[in-house]
Amino acid sequence: MLQVKTFAFNPLQENTYILYNENSDCCVIDPGCYFNNEKERLKDFIEQQKLSPKYLLNTHCHLDHVFGNKFVHDTWQLPLYLNEKEVPLLERAPVSGTYYNLPFDNYSGEMHFLTEGDTIKLGDDELKVLYTPGHAPGHICFYCEKQEFIIAGDVLFKLSIGRTDLPGGDYNTLINSIREKLFTLPDTVKVYPGHGEATTIGFEKRNNPFLN
């Protein structure tokens, strides 16, 4: 059974997730740790819980979600898993960082590409990959069907949706991703977004002003 630990990192208050099970296997999703104290908080949690990191995963590669990729890779020798269409965004992320006065060392190591229907396994636990473009061209989500939760990145937020005015974004594509991939999940599925507090599929179906 997976447990979910959330950190809000960097000036953009991005949600970084650690998913871990009773066997102490874990994955790190969207490490947004920018400042040294944030990197230490991430490392301290993993060490204090005696976890063994198995995967470094990106839902997408806007800079606030990839600040810590290199740190996680260097610390635990993990290659990066992402959708192939996100590689150009990843490569441009340091340039974007200069616009925000947030320079950083980018990840440049081995990459494994994920697409719709792929599965990430942590022991007996599984995360199904959903391809959900619109906010970013290669955006993916990680769905744990057994425990009814999804790591949704910047697709769906509580009472909001991901922005589509960044390069590669498209409003209609995003709405279709939400309706066809997320809103077809059970209403009870808990949504862990890339920013802000968690919500549920049912709550967003009933209340999200962008989707009613």
> DSSP character for 179?
I
Tens digit of each residue's pLDDT (9 = 90 or more) over 28-41: 999 999 999 999 99
pLDDT of residue 92: 95
Burial (0-12, 13-18, 19+ Cβ within 10 Å), 209: exposed
Q: Per-residue confidence at 137, pLDDT binned at 50, 70, 90?
A: very high
- CB proximity list for 65: less than 8 A, separation 6 or greater: 14, 30, 31, 32, 58, 59, 153, 154, 194
Tens digit of each residue's pLDDT (9 = 90 or more) over 86-96: 999 999 999 99
pLDDT of residue 82: 98
32 is a domain residue: yes
Q: Per-residue confidence at 179, pLDDT binned at 50, 70, 90?
A: very high
86 is a domain residue: yes
Q: What is the CATH number of the domain that holds 95?
A: 3.60.15.10
Q: Which domain holds residue 90?
A: 3-207
pLDDT of residue 34: 98
pLDDT of residue 212: 84
Q: What tokens were used for 97?
A: 């960082």
State mean pLDDT over 55-66: 98
Asked if residue 167 has pLDDT above 90, the reply is: no
pLDDT of residue 87: 98
150 is a domain residue: yes
What is the number of structural domains in the chain? 1
- CB distance 83 to 140 below 8 Å: yes
Q: Which amino acid is at 45?
A: F
For the entire predicted model, the pTM comes to 0.97
Q: Residue count of the chain, please give it.
A: 212
pLDDT of residue 136: 98
State mean pLDDT over 153-182: 97
CA distance 65 to 15: 8
Strands 119-122 and 125-131 come out as: antiparallel
212 is a domain residue: no
Q: Which residue has the tokens 């447990």?
A: 3
State mean pLDDT over 112-134: 97
What angle separates helix 36-48 from helix 69-76, to the nearest 10 degrees?
40
